[in-house]
């Protein structure tokens, strides 16, 4: 099933630059303030490649994409970026505190970076769980066409209850790369080049099915690029470098795999009255009035307990908080046609029953984030309401990995912003160039 290969990654020369000065969060998690910070910290920061700044004089020939390609070439000629001498896999560890966990306990998520084959979904090797949008894919395709390099990691999960792949790749020595990011996450990478170890890991992965955790737009960009190159070259050579993409693989059965909720904040609705809406919500949910919310963590704990056996949501207004617990016998035309696993998702019940049916938002409104914000932090979501910037915040429990798995393997998708895998994969640890060293990369020579 999963066809992985070692590769000669293009990597920052840490004798010339500090890892913490040049690596970034994924492009779609970089705010304008973060972009400015990355630009300021080092002239070699990867942000200039993955999320460059437009200029007034830009045209079809000179623009942020062409500058990205020029920088990659320049940094290689200066020795800032160098290809590894031998094909390798890269064990990747992230040690972190789980947001919202007040115990202070550390968690670790371990995986490995390798090349994976770009397979169409109908091959039943790679599965998605989210819809994609055309605009981000067009942007990423422009960048890939110009740079001919995969600079950011896709994040895929596979099932390995005995953790056999990790045992084969286990590393204890000094890491090849080590840094702590702006969220306090410790990132460590070990280069693994031993041919026997690499072959053993490849064999262990051969029967695995893969689910995209993060990077749906980048994966479909890789698919589009592969198709373009096949047409251009009039060839379906399975060993062509564009048939591969750079992936970080993580075992979904390990405790370090953390999914956070993404809360919904509703704003700007004319004539919105929470008490009128509450009466309508009672058709589908039992409602407990929690009064004025003074302790967010206590309320989130209560939400977590309520959600152990059914959908539970926390609706917070400027004056009150309401715990919503799904009734066992929900009957709504909005849920007709949805599978059992879809109806069991908290986010589906929130979107279909409350945001659309009761509040009156359209599916397009939600997709376009009209009157709707997505916020990870519960306190920040509540503050939006308390400050008068929003009318109601809906706090949610996170989706469970088994729900994501079942949805993906059933060929279905979840609503946008249904999952927030934490922490994010850092960009700049490894780069896969489709040119230059790519022929050796893709063949494993």
Q: pLDDT by residue (tens digit) across 139-163?
A: 999 999 999 999 999 999 999 999 9
Q: pLDDT by residue (tens digit) across 266-286?
A: 999 988 888 888 889 999 999
Q: pLDDT by residue (tens digit) across 33-85?
A: 999 999 999 999 999 999 999 999 999 999 999 999 999 999 999 999 999 99
Tell me how far apart the alpha carbons of residues 149 and 163 are, in angstroms, rounded to a whole number. Answer: 31
Whether 23 shows a pLDDT value over 90: the answer reads yes
Cβ(371)–Cβ(266) below 8 Å: yes
Whether 442 shows a pLDDT value over 70: the answer reads no
Q: Band the pLDDT of 441: cuts 50, 70, 90.
A: very low
Among residues 313, 323, 318, 302, which one has the least CA distance to residue 382? 318
Cβ(283)–Cβ(412) below 8 Å: no
What confidence score (pLDDT) does residue 12 get?
98
Calculate the alpha carbon distances from 407 to 2, 32, 228 in Å.
19, 34, 30
Q: pLDDT by residue (tens digit) across 308-351?
A: 999 999 999 988 899 999 998 777 888 888 999 999 999 999 99
Q: What would the DSSP string read from start to end of 163-201?
A: -HHHHHH---S--SEEEE-TTS-EEEEEEE--HHHHHHH
Say if residue 304 is exposed, middle or buried (CB neighbours under 10 Å; 0-12, 13-18, 19+). Answer: middle
Q: Band the pLDDT of 172: cuts 50, 70, 90.
A: confident
Mean pLDDT of 288-308: 89
Percentage above 90 pLDDT, the chain: 82
* Global model pTM greater than 0.85: yes
What confidence score (pLDDT) does residue 436 get?
58
């Amino acid at each position: 099933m999963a066809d992985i290969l070692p590769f000669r990654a293009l990597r920052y020369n840490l004798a010339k630059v500090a890892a913490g000065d040049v690596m970034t969060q994924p492009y779609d998690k970089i705010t304008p303030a973060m972009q400015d910070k990355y630009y300021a910290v080092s002239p070699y920061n990867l942000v200039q490649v993955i999320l460059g700044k437009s200029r007034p004089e830009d045209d079809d020939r000179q623009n942020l994409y062409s500058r990205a390609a020029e920088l990659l070439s320049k940094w290689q000629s200066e020795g800032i970026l160098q290809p590894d001498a031998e094909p390798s896999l890269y064990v990747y560890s992230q040690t972190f505190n789980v947001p919202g966990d007040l115990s202070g306990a550390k968690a670790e998520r371990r995986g490995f970076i390798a090349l994976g084959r770009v397979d169409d979904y109908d091959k039943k090797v790679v599965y998605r769980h989210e819809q994609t949008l055309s605009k981000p894919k067009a942007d990423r395709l422009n960048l890939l066409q110009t740079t001919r390099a995969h600079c950011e990691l896709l994040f895929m999960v596979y099932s390995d209850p005995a953790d056999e792949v990790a045992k084969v790749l286990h590393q204890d020595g000094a890491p090849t790369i080590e840094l702590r990011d702006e969220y306090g996450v410790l990132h460590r990478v070990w280069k693994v080049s031993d041919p026997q170890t690499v072959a053993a890991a490849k064999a262990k992965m051969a029967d695995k099915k893969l689910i995209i955790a993060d990077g749906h737009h980048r994966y479909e960009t890789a698919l589009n690029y592969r198709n373009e190159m096949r047409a251009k070259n009039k060839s379906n050579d399975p060993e062509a470098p564009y048939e591969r993409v750079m992936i970080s693989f993580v075992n979904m059965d390990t405790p370090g795999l953390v999914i956070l909720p993404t809360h919904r904040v509703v704003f700007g609705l004319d004539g919105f009255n929470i008490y009128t809406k509450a009466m309508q919500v009672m058709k589908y949910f039992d409602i407990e009035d929690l009064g004025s919310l003074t302790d967010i963590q206590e309320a989130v704990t209560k939400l977590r307990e309520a959600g152990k056996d059914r959908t539970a949501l926390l609706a917070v207004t400027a004056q009150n908080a309401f715990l919503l617990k799904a009734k066992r016998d929900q009957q709504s035309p909005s849920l007709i046609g949805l599978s059992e696993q879809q109806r069991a998702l908290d986010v589906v019940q929130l979107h279909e029953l409350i945001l659309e049916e009761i509040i009156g938002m359209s599916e397009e409104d939600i997709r376009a984030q009209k009157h709707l914000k997505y916020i990870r932090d519960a306190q920040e979501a509540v503050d939006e309401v308390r400050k008068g910037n929003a009318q109601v915040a809906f706090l949610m429990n996170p989706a469970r990995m088994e729900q994501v798995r079942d949805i993906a393997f059933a060929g279905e998708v979840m609503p946008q912003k249904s999952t927030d895998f934490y922490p994010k994969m850092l960009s700049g640890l490894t780069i896969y160039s489709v040119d230059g060293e790519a022929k050796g990369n893709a063949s494993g020579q």
